[in-house]
Structure 1
């Protein structure tokens, strides 16, 4: 690692240490307080505080400082994921009992798909995955589903980063991907065959928050030998139902949303 990179890393670490000093008991701190606690020069603390203030993570209160509103954005992300965990677990378990295949709840982490909840089936042969695992969104049903409802800038970023080929049917042509995303927006579900792995079928449906925004997906992936194409319509129906159950538990009311769209 270069000297410049080490310096940047040290600054990031020190900035995070400053934020961690704030608590319910110590909600307002001065430069001297922070310097003493972290054993850093006051000049360094002052520079880091200015950086954190410019990004909205700290704000000035008199001659001291407290946390800024940008912290709320991070808190909102964490709380929404905790709420999804709590509300999605039982419906996901029910889905696994009906289809006897692994099921996931996923969301986007930047331009990558990440699994945030998983319930395993009792099948002897199962597809390997784990919570926290990242996947390229363009090779998976939950990834494509979520990508279909992202702003154009995010889709452009994914395309510019390159479309990887993981399975024989992985989409590597941006024009084809954009056509597929358009169709997914119309259908509000996604089926992928041989895209992440050969001989694997994956199906995903949306999870919406109380505003109707798609914030996550529920999905099932299984080997073709167990999920034949004749079985796909039934799986799609069950997965969509599960997505709607979780959405309802998160406060989404479909009838009210439909009335608002008229």
Structure 2
């Protein structure tokens, strides 16, 4: 069945025989059984060729229903935190706020203090900027107040400034926070996608300013992107699904 993931998604019995190096009678029996159970279906306009059937979609849907974003996010966050030694979060968007659903603490004595379930204004965080950047303009406008709340002197308070920042986030695919939710911490975040390619969460790495530098920022941006891609894959997203 994995053969059908390549090319145009259709194969004939002779092609399957050639690729699997199996006897023709064996392949015939396999194809007949899979077709009888709707795992494969004939391609109407191409006699003798098959494609994946509805049963594979049903299995995939059931698997997706069993996925737990928080649990999967916690596992990925732990792996990223072990690699860099810094605090890693996974967050989702609710109205104009972000809610942290997974978190692994830094191993350093000086570290960011936070907790799962914590709610923060999205525009003050790297994860929030990433999630806001994916919204349609009318949705974004409906969520934002005329004046944005400031958590530190570095927080963006103008919707116009935020929109300009979100445009930069969309262009580079990575979001940054420079001491905007905590005066002593900066963060970098990357998007997490579901199997349909929708951004459903963001993964961030948070670093106290005593360990922050341009070089460290680049390193953590790559690491956050890698972690977000891993979590996306766990949710069923593959690069070929991306818009």
Normalised TM-score (structure 2): 0.69
Alpha-carbon RMSD across the aligned residues, in angstroms, is 2.0
CA offsets per residue over residues 209-231 of structure 1, 9 Å max, x none?
00110000001111110122221
Contact 1:168/1:197 (<8 A) preserved: no
Q: Counterpart in 1 of 2:155?
A: 170
Provide runs of 4+ in structure 1 moved above 4 Å: 79-82
**Pair 1:215-2:200 in alignment:** yes
1:130 deviates by: 0.8
Matched residues in 1 for 2:224 and 2:211: separation?
A: 16
Distance 1:116 1:187, change over 3 A: same
**Pair 1:236-2:215 in alignment:** no
Equivalent in 123, 126, 129 of residue 144 of structure 1: 129
Contact 1:146/1:216 (<8 A) preserved: yes
CA offsets per residue over residues 131-186 of structure 1, 9 Å max, x none?
11100001110011101102323321332263111122211121111111111112
Q: Counterpart in 2 of 1:74?
A: none
Normalised TM-score (structure 1): 0.65
Q: Name stretches of at least 5 consecutive residues in structure 1 with no aligned partner.
A: 1-78
1:246 deviates by: 0.5
Q: Name stretches of at least 5 consecutive residues in structure 2 with no aligned partner.
A: 1-63
Q: Counterpart in 2 of 1:93?
A: 78
Matches within 5 A, 1:181-220: 181-220=166-205
1:110 deviates by: 2.0
Contact 1:193/1:199 (<8 A) preserved: no
Matched residues in 2 for 1:241 and 1:157: separation?
A: 32
Matched residues in 1 for 2:130 and 2:106: separation?
A: 23
What SS is found at the alignment partner of 2:192? strand
Count matched residues. Answer: 181
Contact 2:98/2:120 (<8 A) preserved: yes
1:192 deviates by: 1.2
What SS is found at the alignment partner of 1:230? helix
Matched residues in 1 for 2:67 and 2:119: separation?
A: 18
Q: Counterpart in 2 of 1:257?
A: 241
